[in-house]
Chains A and B, each alone.
Chain A
Amino acid sequence: MAEDKKELSPELKEQLRAEFDRDWRKDLRKALPVKDRMKLGRQKMPEREAGVRNRDFKEVNIGLTPEMAQEEARRCLDCSNPQCITGCPVCIDIPSFVKLVEKGEFLEAAWKLKETNCLPAICGRVCPQESQCEEVCTMRKAGGAPVAIGNLERFAADFERLSGSLRIPPPPPPSGKKAAVIGAGPAGLTVAGDLAKLGHSVTVFEALHESGGVLIYGIPEFRLPKSILKAEVDYLKRLGVEIRTNFVVGLTATIDDLRNEGYEAFFIGSGAGLPNFMKIPGENLVGVYSANEYLTRVNLMRAFAFPDYDTPVFKAKTAAVIGGGNVAMDSVRTAKRLGAERAVIVYRRSRTEMPARTEEIHHAEEEGIEFQLLTTPIRYTGDEQGRLRTMECQKMGLGEPDASGRRRPVPIEGSEYTMEVDLVVCAIGQSPNPLIPQTTPGLKMGKWGNVEVDWATMATSLPGVYAGGDIIRGGATVILAMGDARIAAAQMDRYLRR
């Protein structure tokens, strides 16, 4: 698998250097000495009160004020060898945009972001910055809190959107080439934006009725408001991207059919289908959901507004969510918002090994989510109607580290206990969607049902066909999918101009 923190290309280094050497950057650096910058404290993201927000779906974080954003941007030392960019899967010129914020040129900051990232308002909200750009921030290495790069990205993108001065770059000369993107999720949208900016005619084929992929069906409104997603998708449409919803590549038309229609390059970003279950007794009882189904009902189908919307979802007194990732946090916080008296995370390892973002775990705790750590369900039982009633659990200890480097959970004999639950959401990951692999002869697959690619180019075994995101990774993050997409788009451009 590709490494997250990478060596930057010589061209990019040169570009960054040129930006670094600009007079305004020099002036700004001189205006406030490094030692004074280091004394500034990190601005805390304002958020809605836990006891209020856990009863509705409105966004938790409120966003920095312009004053706070500028104050935060002043904390950036504008290092001569900035590490933050190496931590960013899409290589955003972070110092440039942060310094534009410091200068008060918020629109320019947003446009700088959009040079490399078509979806900054989304990334500013859902990227795990603490393990990417912010992890390698010099401020953090010097023992302080890292610059709040994610919050600044969100601020700049929101500022542009709310200003009404959305800038559409001048249309490039058309290449006359057609590219097909399969799946309007984070990877597909990124490829589409990049290729459109390079002058190609791009069509995105989306199976669902709304664009966004996991951003629309998975990530809840309280973390990523749909209006923001819609604005970023509209931006892509204004770049010339065509999006065809309700089109299942593989079934409505195969990749070969699309080739016959004149598409020359393809990007498979069909994401993770097939939710994983634990294969324990009682998992098909009524009341046991996959996280995908639970979140899709609530987010895409708006079951929180049932019966005004027709799709129902179970409301629980006690909801247990199995897993420790971001999807588990989204699910458990959703259950709480839908009125659960107890909403519980059941995770087989300890807090340290939880893959969820620190911020999400923290928010969940504030909102009254319970954590039953080092615990795994071993069986569910139901009533005569097949409805879930209880969950039998077993406590776990931690053994030696496994292949993932995390300590392996080991069942503790005799530690079983039973709790009453009326909703279980299984958030233990998913396998790649099988539709494209099943219907695309010659496409080489890996052993987990993932599409195999050359990690340097994202090329699959078929000429002109590239892939990225969960269809190759099996279940990763929005930004890793977007990182794959940027590599693929550059290669597709070369392929189309061959």
Chain B
Amino acid sequence: MPKILDQRRLVPNLHLLEVHAPDLVRKCRPGQFVIIMPDERGERIPLSIADWDETRGSVTAVFLVVGTSTRKLAALKAGDEVPVFVGPLGRPSEIEAFGTVVLAAGCFGIGALWPAARALKAAGNRVIALIDAKAEHLVYWKDRYQSVCDKVLFSSRDHALASKDFIPRPLEEVLRAEAPVARVISVGCTYLMYACARVTKPLGIKTIVSLNPIMVDGTGMCGACRCTAAGKTKFACVDGPDFDAHQVDWDELFLRRKSYFDDEIRSICHYEETELP
């Protein structure tokens, strides 16, 4: 079974997980994801790939601690094993010389967008990162982004890093200042991606988002992850996870992501009652 090499908190509620997965590491590309199952009774959940290391034979993901599965992941220690760590799944992100690319990332998306930042720079793009966090102490991997990006900007709610603002207005400012921007890639919580899409649509800037619907098998078999893009039903696991943000039916995605809200609460209560010391 795949062994955990590292599991630690990056910032409050956001954790890094590095798993020994020599089978996967050769094939990882920016924008892909893995399916992980924390233990034999766990759920299969998708996590975006945040990094990989061929010499260590490892794949890294960053996740937000929110429900039972991610709490279980956050309790893993180096040396522990997980029954499922499979991938790399999904289609890789398009990486080409586009010109100027703005990356709008928040939450686990800061980790998830890192491979694309690195690859886009290597492909010859001018890469500008706009990192959103509620407060300065919630920003991670700032150094990494600064090591490859032409500019790293922040939006936060605490004045410490930038103006006190959520991502839309800072994004709009960047897009105007850096015009022409060839492409925006946004990864993070659904609301952040939706908010970015709303900014870029009137400006006519191609925007890619990495959708995060509920999944089960992750290989096209079950159809749990269906979402609507350009009026057609798509399976995020094999048709995505990257989609054109301006074609996504966001209302449907928000509702489908909440499908099991009551069960999730029940599951956490059960977990706390039965499995926590």
A residues adjacent to B (C-beta < 8 A): 207-209, 217, 246-248, 251-253, 257, 271-275, 277, 279, 283-284, 286, 289-290, 292-293, 296-297, 301-302, 306-312, 385-386, 433-435
Contact assessment for B233 and A283 in the assembled complex, using a CB-CB cutoff below 8 Å: yes
Is B224 touching A284 in the complex (CB atoms < 8 A)?
A: no
Within 8 Å of chain A (Cβ to Cβ): is B119? no
Which single member of B41, B43, B88, B255 contacts A308 (CB below 8 Å)? B41
Residue of A nearest to B220 (CB): A273
- Known contacts A253-B23, A386-B255, A312 near B86 by CB under 8 Å: no
**Which of A207, A272, A433 interacts with B86 by CB under 8 Å?**
A207
A94 CB, nearest partner CB in chain B, Å: 34
The majority secondary structure among interface residues of chain A is: loop
Residue on A nearest B219 in the bound complex, by CB: A207
19 A-B contact pairs sorted by A residue (CB < 8 Å): A208-B217, A209-B83, A246-B86, A248-B219, A251-B27, A252-B27, A257-B26, A273-B219, A274-B235, A275-B223, A279-B233, A284-B233, A284-B256, A286-B256, A289-B224, A292-B221, A312-B267, A434-B238, A435-B219
Complex CA distance for A292 and B27, rounded to whole angstroms: 28
B24 partner residues in chain A, CB cutoff 8 A: 252
Task: Describe B's contact surface by its main secondary structure.
Answer: mixed
**Chain B residues with CB under 8 A of A297:** 216
Residues of A within 8 A of B44 (CB): 209, 301, 311
Contacts of B89 in A (CB 8 A): 248, 251
Query: Chain B nearest CB: distance from A264 CB in Å?
Result: 20
- Report the Cα distance A274→B239, complex, angstroms: 11
Report, nearest first, the 10 A-B pairs whose CB atoms are least far apart.
Answer: A386-B255, A312-B263, A307-B270, A293-B222, A273-B220, A290-B223, A246-B86, A310-B43, A275-B223, A286-B259
Residues A385 and B258 in contact, CB atoms below 8 Å apart: yes
How many angstroms between the C-alpha atoms of A284 and B256 in the bound complex?
8
A252 nearest CB neighbor, chain B only: B23
Assembled-state Cα–Cα distance A253/B217 (Å): 18
Asked whether, in the complex, the Cβ of B260 is within 8 Å of the Cβ of A312, the reply is yes
B100: interface (CB < 8 Å) = no
Judge whether B85 and A246 touch: CB under 8 Å: yes
Contact A309 B41 (CB under 8 A): yes
Please give, as numbers and ranges, the residues of chain B lying within 8 Å of A289 by CB-CB distance.
223-224
A306 touches B255 (CB 8 A): no
B228 within 8 A of A: yes
- In the bound complex, residues from chain B placing their C-beta under 8 Å from that of A273 are 219-221, 238
